[in-house]
Amino acid sequence: MAVHTGSAGVVKIGSDVVAEVTAFTMETTADVIESTQLSDTNKTYEVSRKSGTVTVECAWDESDTSGQIALQEATGVTLLLYPEGADSGDYFYTVPVIVTGNSVSVTMDDLIRLSISCQINGAITRGTV
């Protein structure tokens, strides 16, 4: 069984790497519709639509115009998420998103942090490098 650490992840917009990424999360869900009949003993469900969100956490870099700065709210982009890195044979996800928000956090004695929130906007595909 292969396991991986969180030290190799990469986020890209096209071929541009988003700078200073410290974490990312992709959360997907599937809606269900109850299909239980009156005479059924147990509830049953049917799968409906899928949706999800992506959050990208960064150490703020105002010079990253093709990455962090490009991910402004109300912008539609396609993110490439590489959980295990971007080496040959590694898996990655192609995720169309709409950026829904940016949060900048400034704390004494720490790096300035940027959190980018996105709504998944369509189908996710998984491939290999």
Average of pLDDT values for 71-89? 95
Strands (DSSP E) found in 35-90: 45-59, 76-82
Beta bridge partners of 126: 93
At 1 the pLDDT is: 59
Taking phi over 0 as left and psi of -120 to 50 as alpha, with beta for the rest, 66 belongs to alpha
Measured from the Cβ of residue 97, the count of other Cβ atoms closer than 10 Å reads 25
Confidence of residue 53 (pLDDT cuts 50, 70, 90): very high
d(CA 17, CA 108) in angstroms, rounded, equals: 28
Amino acid making up residue 52: G
Average of pLDDT values for 87-108? 96
Residue 6 pLDDT > 90: no
At 118 the pLDDT is: 98
Residue 3 pLDDT > 90: no
Residue 2 pLDDT > 80: no
Confidence of residue 4 (pLDDT cuts 50, 70, 90): confident
Closest CA to 98 of 115, 83, 79, 82: 79
Average of pLDDT values for 5-24? 94
